[in-house]
A and B are shown apart, each in its own frame.
Chain A
C-alpha cells in the first residue's frame, strides 16, 4: 500500500537555526497538509496546500514558516529561525481529493530545538 514518507524521523537543532522537514506524499494525491503535535497535546493544523498554493493556514503558521512543493514529489516545511516552542512532532498528510477524503499521514518528524 502506498504511503506518505517523512524525513528525517528525528531532527535536533539549535534555537535560531533553519530547519527543513521533508515529505513525499502518495503519488496521485493532490491535497497536502502539515500538522504539529506538541508532546501530550492535540494535533494542530498548520497549513493546507493545493495546486502549488497555500489554501489555508493557521495562526501558528506565521512568517517563520513556509511550504514548498519544489519538484512535484516532495512537500517541504521550512522553519526559518527555530524557537524552543517549535519542539514538536510534525506530521505531513495527503489526500487524493478534498471533500470527504480522509488524510493519509506520514510517520512524523520529531523536532527538538535546544
Chain B
C-alpha cells in the first residue's frame, strides 16, 4: 500500500466551480501535513500547511482528520490559474525524518 494516496484525477471543472481533493496516509506516526502545487516541469511549491483544526487561505480550505488518516483540500471559485497538479505531502519522524509526496491530482480549469 502506498504511504500517501490521492485521487488520481484529472478533474476538469469550469471557472468558478468548487472542487475537492482527498488524500489518505497510512502511517499513523505522520505528524505534519501540507498541500503543494506543481506546474508542468516545475518544482513543487507550497500551497498551504494543514492544521488539526482545519485552516483556510483565501479560496483554499484544508482539513485534517487524524482518526481516519485523511486530508482534504477544497478550492472555491476556481480560476484558470489554478490548473496544476496538487500534491498531498506528509512528514514523519520515525527514527529518521522523511517528507513523502502523493502522486498528485491533476486539475484543469476551463473557461
Contact = CB atoms under 8 A, between A and B. Distances in A.
A11 B43 CA distance: 17
A78 B5 CA distance: 30
Interface of B: 31-32, 34, 38, 41-46, 49, 87, 89, 91, 93, 95-104
A56 interface: yes
Contacts of A41: 103
A56 B34 contact: no
Interface residues of A, number: 28
Given A42-B103, A45-B98, A45-B99, A99 B91 contact: yes
Interface of A: 31, 33, 35, 41-45, 48, 50, 54-57, 89, 91, 93, 98-108
A102 B46 contact: yes
Given A42-B104, A101-B32, A48 B43 contact: no
Contacts of A48: 96-99
Q: Is the interface of B mostly helix, strand, loop or mixed?
A: strand
B31 A100 contact: yes
Q: Is the interface of A mostly helix, strand, loop or mixed?
A: strand
Contacts, number: 65
Contacts of A54: 96
B97 A50 contact: yes
A100 B55 CA distance: 14
16 contacts: A43-B101, A44-B101, A45-B100, A55-B97, A57-B96, A98-B91, A99-B91, A99-B93, A100-B31, A102-B46, A103-B46, A103-B89, A103-B99, A105-B43, A106-B43, A108-B42
Given A91-B43, A91-B44, A102 B96 contact: no
